[in-house]
Structures are given as structure tokens and as C-alpha cells.
Structure 1
Amino acid sequence: MPTVAQAFEQFMQGLELHAGEEREAKRQERNVFDAMRRHLGPRESILSGSYGRSTAIRPLHDIDLFLIFTAAAGGTGDAVGPEAFLRRVKQALEQEFPGKQAKLQNRSVNIEFSGTGIGFDVVPALEDPRRPGIYWIPDVRKGDWIQSNPRKHIEVCDVANARATQRLKPLIKAIKRWNQLQGKPVPSFLLEVMAYSGIDSFRPASHLSVYAQGMAHLYQFMSEHIMDQWPEPAGLGPPVNSGVGQTNLVQGQQRLSGATRKAAQALELERMGDMPGANALWRELLGPDYPVR
């Protein structure tokens, strides 16, 4: 029977992307970028979202592909509304990949490739000519363009991970797996942003699994602060939880509170030396990929 620390190490390794998934994702990213360049002429692309921040988990599904356009490229600019520009992207993708049905979303267009199951959320972005590194992306629900900076998101995540001695990203991945098992009541990015702050008050004890303590700490922090206003990490766009319905927030808080109680029980069993009991509770929280033997 593994200790809790050993079980967590094995579980965390199982969440990591395989080398083949990484290669295939990058190959498909290049194909999508080349296809869009033939039609709309983006200047460059950024692999953003959880993949870009190295917080994506297996199995890999949708990858955010941030396409940067100059304001004048392809007739874009103030005269083109956000939904109209997204429709241009959708049309270009469907022309380049016959038989694929691209899906219009609030800020992106999704296209999935058969065989791998990997899809891309293509986010068109207009570079601000006066402020390098600041981009305008469409928001259909708002009917307007909003500001974003995915490179700043990556930087903020990396800095928080460094403060946590490289343990934050594995914890974020584990929280995401838990969220999947709950039916995703909380948007993944909101969980990440809360984790950046929550990890700062984490003080692990030396005689218990650090990852187990980190999970328990983040569950409690998130349950207590999910109703707070969470600014966008780059300080540009609307708050991260601005588009999350109250029902989802309440449900997320209830699930996080329940997880907090179960995690506290697991820590107590580990403290008493009952590794099978502690691991069984963590398996209830984190699913069948968490090893108990």
C-alpha cells in the first residue's frame, strides 16, 4: 500500500501530457496557423490558455490558439464587429478543412480533428498599435472587443508556480481533474486564478504529504473566496468570474466545501498512519486514476 505522498506523486504524473500528445498538438497548431495565414493573414500565433500555461491535463482536448492580426489586416479594424470577424475565421477554417464543422463561440471558433480528438479554440486578436503586447479580442455576448494579453497570463502563472517551489501547477491540474469529476461547475481559468492567490498562504507541515496538504488548503481557500471578484491576471479584461452564473458559483462553493471536509478527514487519517483510509478518501475526490495499491 503506497503512502499518501507516493500515491499523489503517481497521480500527478498521470495527469501530465505525453510526448506524443505534445508533438501532435504542435503539428496541428502549425497546420491551423498556416491555413489561417492563407486566408486572413495573421502575423503570428501564441499557444495560450491552459496549454500555454502548462496547466492542461490528459486527455488533451481543446487548445487555445491566439492569432495576432494587425488592425488593417484582411479589412479588420473598427468597422468589423466581433461576431462578424469570428464568422470570417469560421468560414476560413471550414474552407481549409473540408468536412469539419467549426463552431462559433463567445470569443473563439472551435474546430476538432478526428483521430486525435484534439481541438483548437481559435481566438483572433487585433494588436493595439499604441501598446505592444496588448490585444483586442472579440466578445460576442458583450458585442464589443475586449483587451487581453496571453503572454502576461503565462508570466503570472509561472511566477506563482515559482513562489510555490514548482508545486502549484501540479496542484492546479489535480483541482481541474476534481472539477471534471464534478461536472465542471467552476470554469477552469477561475480555479487557476484563485490558486495563484491561495497558494501564498499555504504553510505545509513536514510530516504529511505536501500535495495532500496543498489540495486541502486550496479547497478551503476556494470555497471561502469563490464569491469574491477575481480580476483578470493581466489587468486588462473583465473579471474572470464576470460571465459565471450565480447558480454555478453557488454549486461550485457547495462542492468545494464538501471537498474541504473530505480532504480534512483524509489528512487526519494520514496523520494517524491510516494510509489505506486516507488514500481511499483521496480516490473518492480525485477519481479512479488516483492509485490505492
Structure 2
Amino acid sequence: MAPRTVARAFDEFDENLNLDPQERRKAQTRHQEITDCLTDAGIAASTFLQGSFARKTMRKPLKDVDMVILLAEVHRPAWGGDGVGGPAAAMSAIQIAVTARFPGARFDGEDTPAHALQVSFPDCTFTFDLVPAFADPDGGEDIFIADREQDQWEWSNTRTLNRVISQRNQATLGVFVHQVRMGKEYKANEPLLDELCGLAVESLTYAVIFKKMPHDRALLALFAHAATAVLGKVLDPTGVDDLAAEWTPAQRATYSQAFNRAAARAREAVALAADGEHAAAIDIWHSLLGESFPEPAAQTSSQALAGLVGGSITSTGRAVTSQRAAQPNRPGRSWGSR
């Protein structure tokens, strides 16, 4: 069997990040069932999905599905004004209709989000967040979503976000969303990035990946860009919201440190792969991206010895014949030499 290459390891990594196909189909089916329920009841004109599940940038496991309920225009006079209880009334009507169609449904069990009615179904391992909204009366992409805490309808460009991510994915021949998931996996395995939101990773990737490129080079580009980008504004992919507006200087420094370190190791791995040291490169990527990334083949004693003679030592401690690992190997003079 031929040794695993870095490209093949990334293909396996990509497969490991995919949502469970049965859960994905279940979510799509339930979305359609809820849509039919609410349109039949005259509550919704239509629905659409938003969030990372809709954009295909969600890494497993599937935990929640965000679903926008575009309310029928007949309800705008009663529910559409601010300060008149409209958002709460819309959610109440949705709850009544969904309960009638799905008697076992539970609402707001794990959380009570301001903008959504959270629904759990006994036959699903994930929740749905149902977001009531009114369409833009001028016919644009914008919508106005419910906020039951503030009793108002808030502007949202979530459909624009869906569109620009889809367009970028098409421009990269379908690899962009996969590379976003890989970036999110690095975040999940890096404690210094615990407070960084997933959309920030998506936005940082969007800012630097414009065309199809190999996964390892795409992640290197992401890490190198993010190391400095987190020190300033981080605009969402629509270019409207600064996701970093409330970050503290300490958070910015911490995020920059994590991405700087990742960039250095990714740069090392890319250089080693170019020199044919695929197992060593895979070892570095495994250390960066966690258990979902394949482990490398074990290094034999003869391979280690060859690397110790004039090669270099990787950041994960492997001796390689390439000179481009993290630490050069400089053997001392033999005993008795002059």
C-alpha cells in the first residue's frame, strides 16, 4: 500500500468533518414538514434556513438548525409594529401550530433565545430555532426578525450572507465551505480560541480564500491572514458587521498568538510536504487539527537515523532529511576529530 500523502490525509479529514448523512436528511425533511405545517396554518408565506447548517459550514455534530419563518403579510398589521407584542404573538401562534402537528414537541427547553422559538422533537437529536420574520416591504433581500425581549423587529441581512457564501463556494469550485469547516476544527482544538465565534472563522476565511487551492495551503493562508487581521476589524462576509467590535485588547492578542503559532507550523508542514516528507507534514497537521485529522505512519529507526544525519527536526519531534523543519539538526564533531 502506497504511503499516505498530505492531500489524501486532508481528504480523509474532510470526510471526518461531514455531518452524519442520516441526521442531515432528517433535518431537511423536518424543515419541509415544519414549512408545510406553518403555511397550511396560514402563518407563514415561506421559510428558509440560515446559519452554518444552511451555509454548509457546520462541522459535526449537528446540534441545531436555524429556520427563518417569513410570516404571511396578512399578519403585518397585528404583529408587525414595535412595542405591541408582535414578536411574542408570532411565536405563540407558531408554537400552537407546531404542537398540533408534532404533539411531542417541546419549546424553549434548553434555551430561550430572544430571536427564536427553540423546538425539540423526540425523534431528533438536534433542535430547531424558529425565527419569525417579515420580508422587506420593498422586495429586497433584507428581512426583519423578531426580538421578543425588546418587543421589536430587527433588520437582518441573513439572506445576503447565505448568498455571498454560496457565491464564494462556487468561485472556489466547491472547496470553500470545506475549508471553513477545517478552520473551525482548528478553533475547536485550540483553547486560546474558545471565545472566538464560528462566524469569525468563516469571515477570516472568506477574506483570504478566493479561488480553489489545496487544503493545506488554504489553511496556511487563513492562519497567516488571521494572525494580523484579528488585531483590527473583522467584517462578516457581507461587509456590514464588525465581529471584533467588542473584543478586548487581551482577546485580540490571544487570538493573534494562536493564529501566529498555527501559521508557523502550517508553513513548516507545507514546506515538508513539498520536500516529500508527507508523514512528517501529516504529523504536524494532526497536532494542529486534532483527532479528526489522520495520524501519520510511525517513523522507522532507519528513517529517524537518516534524518539525524544532516537533516532537521520537526516541531513535533520527527527527524527528517529535509532541511526545512522547525529546527536544523547540526551534529557535533565526532570524538577525536580536529
Shorter-chain TM-score tier: 0.7 to 0.9
Q: Residue 234 and residue 115 in structure 1: after superposition, are their counterparts in 2 closer, same or farther (change >3 A)?
A: same
Q: Could you report, residue by residue, the CA deviation over 1:58-110 in whole angstroms, capped at 9, with x for unpaired residues?
A: 2212111011124551721124468x615752684387155624122243233
- Residue in 2 aligned with 1:107? 115
Equivalences for residues 185-224 of structure 1 within 5 A = 185-200=195-210, 210-224=214-228
The structure showing larger relative contact order (alpha-carbon pairs under 8 Å, at least 6 residues apart) is 1
CA distance in 2 between counterparts of 1:129 and 1:11 reads: 45
Distance 1:33 1:98 in 2: 18
1:281 to 279, 284, 290: 284
| Residue 138 to residue 223, structure 1, CA distance change in 2 (3 Å) | farther
Matching residue of 1:149: 157
Paired position in structure 2 for 1:229: 233
Aligned: 1:78 with 2:91: no
Residues 130-139 or 169-178, more deviating: 130-139
Distance 1:68 1:20, change over 3 A: same
**Is 1:121 the counterpart of 2:129 in the alignment?**
yes
Residue 15 of structure 1 is matched in structure 2 by: 17
The 2-side partners of 1:90 and 1:190 are apart by 33
Unaligned regions of 5+ residues in structure 2, if any? 298-338
**CA shift for structure 1 position 217:** 0.8
1:168-183 equivalence runs, <5 A? 168-182=176-190
Quote the offset at 1:229 in angstroms. 2.6
What's 1:53 paired with? 55
Task: Select 2:269's aligned residue among 262, 266, 284.
Answer: 266
For residues 54 and 23 of structure 1, what CA distance do their matches in structure 2 show? 13
CA distance in structure 2 between the partners assigned to 1:255 and 1:114 by the alignment: 40
TM-score (norm 1): 0.82
Task: Give the aligned partner of residue 207 of structure 1.
Answer: none
In structure 2, relative to structure 1, the CA distance for the partners of 1:68 and 1:218 (3 Å cut) is same
Report the CA distance between 1:215 and its aligned residue.
Answer: 0.6
> CA offset at residue 47 of structure 1?
1.2
RMSD: 3.2
Q: Work out whether residues 86 and 104 of structure 1, in 8 Å CA contact, stay in contact via their aligned partners in 2.
A: no
**TM-fit CA distance, 1:11:** 0.9
The separation in 2 between residues aligned to 1:140 and 1:45, in whole angstroms, is: 19
The residue number in structure 1 matching 2:28 is 26
Distance in 2 between residues matched to 1:154 and 1:219, nearest whole Å: 24
Aligned residues: 285
Distance in 2, matches of 1:88 and 1:241, equals 32
Distance 1:250 1:67 in 2: 40
Provide the rounded CA distance (Å) in 2 between the counterparts of 1:243 and 1:73.
Answer: 36
Any idea what the Cα deviations from partners look like across 1:187-244, whole Å, max 9, x if unmatched?
A: 11122122122113x796xxxxx21111111111122112433444446x64344466
Q: Is contact 1:175–1:215 with CA below 8 Å preserved after alignment?
A: yes
Contact 2:207 2:237 in 1 (8 A): no
Deviation per CA, 1:170-199: give whole Å up to 9, x if none.
110111122222364321112212212211
Which one of the candidate residues 92, 95, 99 is aligned to 1:93?
A: 95
- TM-score (norm: length of structure 2): 0.72
2:173 equivalent in structure 1 = 165
Closer, same or farther: CA 245–85 of 1 in aligned 2, 3 Å: farther
Q: How far apart are the structure 2 equivalents of 1:179 and 1:285?
A: 10
Larger Rg: 2
- Any idea what the Cα deviations from partners look like across 1:39-62, whole Å, max 9, x if unmatched? 781211101211222222222121
Q: Give the distance between the partners of 2:4 and 2:199, measured in 1 at CA.
A: 32
